[in-house]
Structure 1
Amino acid sequence: MMLIGVLLLAALFSGDVAADPDLNIESENLTEVNQDLEERRFSWGRWCNGGVYRFRRCYKFVNYKLSWVDAELYCQSLGPNGHLASIHREKQNEFIGQMIRNVKGTLVSTWIGLHDIFREKKFLWTDGSPTNFAKWSRNEPNNWQGREDCVHAGFRKQAFWNDQRCKNKLPFICSFRRIC
């Protein structure tokens, strides 16, 4: 029984790679795909569980408020390697800001996957990726009153980040692998 389970998992992971539609685009469709790239980028909903495919990941803005921990758990339920979004360059930060604006009409405070829960000022992403980019607001992070360990984007309706109390409830951005 264990062998069958291992074989099924292997088939799932190998099928994930083999079923990637980006790898098998027919040459006659290449022109059409290139002309429609911007629109196609926003139409991956069926593979992204209602999210948007960009930067080789699916992103989903969730417009209801949860604590940071509950938001992370929700993101983990969306798909493989699901977590609150990690941001590694300015273009990703701008993209996430635009996703929020598209839904809310303006930039609002939104949980992302950065935190310093384990050690103050040692910020980590929930997906384990390197912390190689930051977009802190002026005088942040400040760990106000010694209680701020989780990070949100959209501080003061700008594309900057702020540390915040993890128990506060905010909308959030998830990131996960495409579901094939």
Structure 2
Amino acid sequence: MNCVLLLLPLLAVACCHSTDLETKPFLNETETLGNGQDMGSAVTHRGWTYRFVTTPMTFVNAELYCQRLGRRGHLTSIHSYCINHLLVHLVRRCSRNVASVWIGGLQFLKTKRFIWLDGSRWNFARWGPGEPNNVYGREECIEMYTSHYRPGYWNDLFCSYSRPFICKY
């Protein structure tokens, strides 16, 4: 059932093509949901809100959480170096102890091609050296490093691991 829920977001298509970086703070402090989960911090850019959620979740649970934030909610897609850089700084502003976060990329049906869960075009990638390497043929989800070890670079990882994450809605 998780696989079905994970593929449903592919039906909703949203485009985010940004060339410049005009951002303003959305929250200056940590906010919590009624269920006590930490909402982290957020920024807005060109009509999109990017929210860093500090509560670690598996990839599937993080995507479901993001979908509950709004009609266009998904784990974030990234379409430029500027957005990639913005998101690293969003995480670091909120917590310097977070080594990596889930982003919304997923290997498509073991094809070695990647897609964004929000249905947008895959037109940017920032893989770390030697990545994606698909260890044991089971690394299908994408984390972005945010700490001092290769900040902003991406790594493919087992989807069952728990990580903080970034939603886009």
TM-score (norm 1): 0.69
**1:157-176 maps to which residues of 2 (within 5 A)?**
157-176=150-169
Identity %: 38
- Name the CA distance, whole Å, in 2 between partners of 1:92 and 1:125: 15
Q: Does 1:111 align with 2:102?
A: yes
Match of 1:89 in 2: 80
Aligned-pair distance for 1:108? 1.8
* Structure exhibiting the larger radius of gyration computed from Cα positions: 1
Match of 2:51 in 1: 60
Aligned-pair distance for 1:157? 4.7
- Name the CA distance, whole Å, in 2 between partners of 1:66 and 1:152: 12
Per-residue CA deviations over 1:62-105 (Å, capped at 9, x if unaligned) read: 00100000000000000121000000000000000001101112
Decide which of 119, 123, 139 is 1:128's aligned counterpart.
119
> When you count helix as a share of all residues, which structure comes out higher?
1
Contact persistence 1:152–1:162 (CA under 8 A)? yes
TM-score (norm 2): 0.74
Q: Does 1:42 align with 2:25?
A: yes
Aligned length: 136
Gaps of 5+ in 2: 1-21, 29-38
Match of 1:20 in 2: none
Counterpart secondary structure, 1:98:
helix
Gaps of 5+ in 1: 1-36
- Name the CA distance, whole Å, in 1 between partners of 2:161 and 2:124: 24
> When you count strand as a share of all residues, which structure comes out higher?
2
- Name the CA distance, whole Å, in 2 between partners of 1:119 and 1:99: 31
Q: Which runs of 4+ in 1 moved over 6 A?
A: none
Aligned residue type for 2:130:
N
